[in-house]
């Protein structure tokens, strides 16, 4: 199942963006073999593998890439693969003997994708960093949060998964599509700082047009506007508004029975503090769930702010099956959706080595090659 059925991809295991990319491609049907260090937890926190959800839908084989046998195995797999991707610092794969040129020598149509924070070149290329560092340098972090506080540390959705893993997946798919026409692979250089910057494209256009201030919480979509904001309710929970268009703003005012705000003043920034005070006072009079009933079926661009454990239970998410339960673990379902070649969670995460014999055989290795590999790595 899945639109990528028939494509073979090698994932050199890492954490964060490469994990996320591997999950996306595997959920869409790609046959991925995940090469990880033997008997080492990705997160290093002792979490059982069944909960390491981004490793789902694909088998993991424990391989010591610092050995000749390990390197030979990966090169052997490259002969059958459409793509290989990794997330080491620049130069690491070359030092292991698995650089793009060596892999391409085994398969000229192979796509070699590289995921880093800073990119393959530039002054910071070889220095350490994490999601927050990359989105800070890309101009994203300074644009988030309240103006009277330091920029917040967001979840690692922007750098790791958005600007990183998602862009890596796009790059792999584009390069494989091109290779299907040209018969030649290429190197994909995906950097989280590049991806995060790319996602800011609209705002750079707005700055150039004089429609956006380069100051935190001073604009339409960064928490300054009273109609694009979260408000506390009487039970200490929150509701979220994103009522940008005028026709929806009128619905908002009508639903709240507000006649002290003229709809024509929606974009009058001088009146935003006054309008915010009115909204804040009104939303504090009911619970979050009571407001959800009030706004049910309206076009006010309203939603309750749900926790991670609440979200799977919401009627809309239940109806669309946005979350699934695999091996007694509730988790997000594959996205996006396809009408004919449906994506699915192929399997729960597996420990390195589980089913290695079957997986390697499926990739064309002989019983003798597999036996030699297993003996060299002392796998059970």
Task: Tell the burial category of 125 from Cβ atoms under 10 Å away from its Cβ (0-12, 13-18, 19+).
Answer: middle
Helix (H, G, I), strand (E, B) or coil at 360: helix
d(CA 212, CA 218): 8
DSSP H/E element including 35: strand 31-36
CB 270 within 8 A of CB 224: no
| β-pair partners for 62 | 36
d(CA 210, CA 189): 33
d(CA 359, CA 346): 14
d(CA 202, CA 57): 34
The residue written with tokens 């979840």 in the block is 155
Residues 6+ apart with CB under 8 A from 120: 90, 114, 189, 191
Farthest CA pair distance, the chain: 81
The residue written with tokens 């892999």 in the block is 103
Q: How far is CA 215 from CA 195, 210, 272, in A?
A: 22, 13, 17
- Compute the chain's Rg from CA coordinates: 25
Closest C-alpha among 143, 275, 139 to residue 219:
143
Residues 6+ apart with CB under 8 A from 137: 124, 193
Catalytic-labelled residue, pool 121, 130, 262, 367: 130
Residue 160 annotated to the active site: yes
Catalytic-labelled residue, pool 42, 82, 160, 222: 160
| β-pair partners for 115 | 190
The catalytic residue positions are 130, 160
């Amino acid at each position: 199942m899945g639109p990528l059925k028939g494509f073979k991809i090698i994932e050199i295991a890492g954490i964060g963006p490469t994990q996320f990319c591997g999950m996306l491609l595997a959920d869409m049907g790609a046959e991925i073999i995940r090469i990880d260090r033997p008997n080492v937890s990705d997160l290093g926190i002792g979490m059982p593998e069944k909960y390491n959800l981004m490793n789902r839908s694909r088998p993991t084989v424990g391989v010591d890439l610092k050995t000749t046998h390990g390197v030979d195995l990966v090169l052997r797999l490259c002969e059958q693969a459409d793509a290989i991707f990794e997330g080491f610092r620049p130069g690491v794969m070359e030092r292991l003997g698995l650089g793009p040129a060596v892999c391409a020598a085994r398969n000229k149509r192979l796509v070699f994708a590289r995921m880093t924070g800073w990119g393959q070149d530039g002054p910071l290329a070889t220095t350490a960093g994490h999601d927050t560092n990359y989105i800070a340098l890309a101009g994203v972090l300074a644009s988030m949060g309240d103006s009277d506080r330091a920029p917040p540390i967001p979840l690692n959705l922007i750098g790791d998964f958005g600007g990183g893993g998602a862009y890596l997946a796009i790059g792999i798919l584009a390069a494989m599509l091109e290779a299907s026409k040209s018969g030649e692979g290429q190197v994909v250089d995906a950097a989280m700082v590049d991806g995060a910057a790319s996602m800011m494209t609209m705002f750079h256009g707005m700055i150039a047009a004089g429609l956006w201030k380069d100051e935190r919480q001073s604009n339409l979509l960064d928490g300054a506007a009273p109609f694009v904001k979260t408000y506390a309710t009487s039970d200490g929970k929150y509701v979220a508004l994103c009522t940008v268009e005028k026709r929806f703003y009128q619905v908002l005012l009508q639903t709240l029975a507000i006649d002290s705000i003229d709809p024509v003043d929606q974009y009058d920034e001088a009146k935003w503090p006054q309008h915010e005070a009115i909204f804040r006072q009104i939303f504090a009079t009911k619970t979050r769930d009571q407001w959800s009933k009030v706004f049910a079926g309206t076009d006010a661009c309203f939603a309750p702010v749900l926790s991670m454990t609440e979200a799977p239970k919401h009627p809309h998410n239940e109806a669309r099956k946005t979350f699934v339960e695999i091996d007694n673990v509730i988790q997000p379902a594959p996205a996006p959706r396809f009408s004919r070649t449906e994506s699915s969670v192929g399997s729960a995460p597996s420990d390195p080595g589980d089913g290695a014999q079957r997986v390697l055989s499926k990739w064309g290795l002989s019983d003798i090659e597999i036996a030699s590999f297993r003996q060299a790595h002392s796998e059970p």
